[in-house]
Amino acid sequence: MGSIVEFNCQSCGFTTGDLRVGWGRAGRTRFWGGLGVCAACKRLSVVDLAAKLDTHRCQECQGQLQLLEGMAQDIPCPECSRVLRTTNLGVWN
């Protein structure tokens, strides 16, 4: 099972929208959503860890993504640099 999460900033109102992390019924060999932050534009995105790429790139600017360990890390807002808050919106499978 995977989680549907959203990160938002209480300071400036920035939101990531729904992000699907984890894996569904097909298992993590098919899709394994992990979180990554772009070193260049600071955007948070979902990375398919099942793809086994050496380099994960941002879809917006093609910058190098830094993979995050779960959702426990403090993630800075790309707009104002305050820490984003996470909300669990449900599950997907």
Instruction: Convert the pLDDT of each residue in 2-37 to its tens digit.
Output: 999 999 999 999 999 999 999 877 777 788 899 999
More confident residue, 1 or 9: 9
Distance (Å, whole) CA 38 – CA 59? 9
As a whole number, the mean pLDDT across the chain is 88
Q: Tell me the C-alpha to C-alpha distance, in Å, between residue 62 and each of 6, 43, 52, 59, 90.
A: 22, 11, 17, 6, 29
pTM: 0.80
pLDDT of residue 90: 93
